[in-house]
Amino acid sequence: MEPDLEAGASPHAPTVSAKFVVLRLVGLLGLVMLTCVLLAAFMDLLQAIPKSDRYQILRVPTFSVDLSGFDGLDGPTLAPSLSPAFNLTLHGVSNHSSGPSSWVCQERGTVAVSYAGAVLAWGRVPGFCFGEHAHERAGMVALGAGVGLSDELRDRMASERRSRSAEVDVDIVLGWIAEESHYLKRLLSCRVKLDEPLPRPYPCKVLVSYPW
C-alpha cells in the first residue's frame, strides 16, 4: 500500500508556516526597534551640537579636485626611490543663499596624494572662504621625497600609465572654527586620473568630524 503523501504532509505544513511567520515578525520587530534606537541616538547627537554649529555642519559646499600637472613619475620604469610633485587645485562650490553672515571660512588644511594605499606626496592647503553661490579655488602643491614603492606597485603603475588608467587618491583635511569656537574638520576623499589630456575636476566625498 503506497503512503498517502498528502495526508502525511498536511499536519506539518501549518506548523512550518506558522514558525516562518513568527520568525518574520520577530525579525521585523527587531529591525523597527533598531531603527528607533538609531534615530534616538541621532537626535541626541544633534541636540548636543550647538545650533550655530549644526547649521555650519549641514551647510557643506561641494568639493572637487583637478590635477594640472605632476613630475617624478615618468620613464618606462620607475626608480625604487621617488620624489614626485603634484600641482592640484581644490574647487569649492557653495549653493546656499542666506546672506553675508552665512560665509563659511576654511582654515588651513593638509593634502596627501597616494597610490594603492602608498603615500607619494603631501602638502598644505591655504585657507579660503565661501560666500553665497560662490565658486572658490585653492592651489595646492604636494611633494614627496625619497618615497619607496614595492616592485609590484611600480610595475602596476607603469602598466596603468601605459593604458592611461592610473589613478591616485587625494585626501584633504580642512579645518574651520564654528561660531561656538569649536574646531571642526572636513575630510575630503577624491580620486584623480594621472594621464588625462586636459585637467578636469573630480568630485570629492565629504565627511565632517565633530570634536567631543
pLDDT at 52: 47
* 188 touches 206 (CB < 8 A): yes
Cβ burial, residue 54 (10 Å; 0-12/13-18/19+):
middle
Mean pLDDT of 4-22: 53
> What pLDDT is stored for residue 197 in this prediction?
81
- Pick from 8-12, 42-46, 64-68, 110-114: least confident: 8-12
Give Cβ neighbours of residue 144 (< 8 Å, ≥ 6 apart). 72, 82, 83, 84, 85, 113, 119, 120, 121, 122
Residue type, 125: V
Residues 19-31: what's their mean pLDDT? 69
Architecture of domain 60-209: Sandwich (2.60)
pLDDT of residue 106: 72
- Structure confidence at residue 80 (pLDDT): 85
Q: What's the mean pLDDT in 140-155?
A: 93
Tell me how far apart the alpha carbons of residues 34 and 54 are, in angstroms, rounded to a whole number: 25
Q: What's the confidence (pLDDT) of residue 8?
A: 46
Has residue 204 got a pLDDT over 80? Answer: yes
Residue type, 162: R
| pLDDT of 34 over the 80 cut | no
DSSP 166-203: -EEEEEEEEEEE-TTS-EEEEEEEEEEES--SS---EE
* CA–CA gap between residue 171 and residue 116 (Å, rounded): 13
Where does the pLDDT of residue 33 fall: very low under 50, low under 70, confident under 90, or very high at 90 and above? confident
| Average pLDDT over every residue of 21-31 | 70
Judge whether residue 30 has pLDDT over 80.
no
Sign of CA dihedral 113, 199, 69, 138: negative
Pull the grid cell for residue 208.
Answer: 565632517
Q: Report pTM.
A: 0.67
The residue among 80 and 48 whose pLDDT is bigger is 80
Whole-angstrom distance, CA of residue 102 vs CA of residue 200: 29
Alpha-helix residue ranges (DSSP H) falling in the chain: 5-9, 13-48, 51-58, 151-162
Per-residue model confidence (pLDDT) at position 210: 55
pLDDT, one tens digit per residue, over 191-203 is 999 998 888 899 9
Give the DSSP H/E element, type plus range, for residue 93: strand 85-93
When pLDDT is cut at 50, 70 and 90, the band that residue 99 belongs to is: very low
Dihedral sign, CA of 101, 103, 104, 108? negative
